[in-house]
Amino acid sequence: MYTARYNAHRFGSMYRSLVHMRALPRYEASLNIAVEIGDKVGQIHASIGMAKNMEMTKQFRLALEYIHRALDLAECIGSKFLAMKCHLYLEQIHTTLGQLEQAWENNKLYKQCVEDLALSCGVCNEVISEKPESLESLQCSHLFHASCLEEYTAGDSRGCPDCRRSLVKPVFV
């Protein structure tokens, strides 16, 4: 069942990236499966995907509804990382709508989550800043600035900069 939810979510993301109208039903399927099996993290990811889809179609009120649902679930399970993502996304939507006070409030909450998590890039060791920037995570769950990881992997790297775990999955013949 987890695989079905994951695949539905991946199809939703794929369709959304192609600006395809079939993305929302894929996210809805993913959300329904996640609810059925009690997967709150899956529900959060599906809700965020639905919010992004609504934003792309300029349905900002629905996007806010979905992202608030995701934020409530993130806070319910105590996931500061997912709450941080929700606050950042809320800030962006409120800024787009010209609701600067709400955007500022979500920016404060985003910064608080960043501070609580004390996230830092495993390559440059700088604290991941308050400004939105592209981040990457490896299979071992270590986080990096996308540009730092790109530079690191362009060299003769043999694994994760933090734990040295292989960057690729082994292939068995």
CATH 3.30.9.10 fits 119-166, yes or no: no
One of 2.60.15.10, 3.40.50.300, 3.90.190.20, 1.25.40.10 is the CATH number of 2-117, namely: 1.25.40.10
Is the predicted pLDDT of residue 10 greater than 70, yes or no?
A: no
**Global pTM value:** 0.64
CB atoms within 10 A of CB 166: 12
Is residue 74 a contact partner of residue 100, using CB atoms and an 8 Å limit? Answer: no
Record the tokens describing residue 129, joined without a space.
């800043």
Residues 5 and 100: their CA atoms lie apart, in Å, by 36
Give every CB contact of residue 65 below 8 A, 6+ residues apart in sequence: 51
Question: In the structure, what pLDDT confidence band is assigned to residue 171 with cuts at 50, 70 and 90?
Answer: very low
Domain spans, the chain: 2-117, 119-166
Q: Comparing 2-117 with 119-166, is the CATH topology the same?
A: no
pLDDT of residue 142: 75
Residues 144 and 171: their CA atoms lie apart, in Å, by 25
Percentage of the chain lying above the pLDDT 90 cut:
32
pLDDT of residue 173: 41
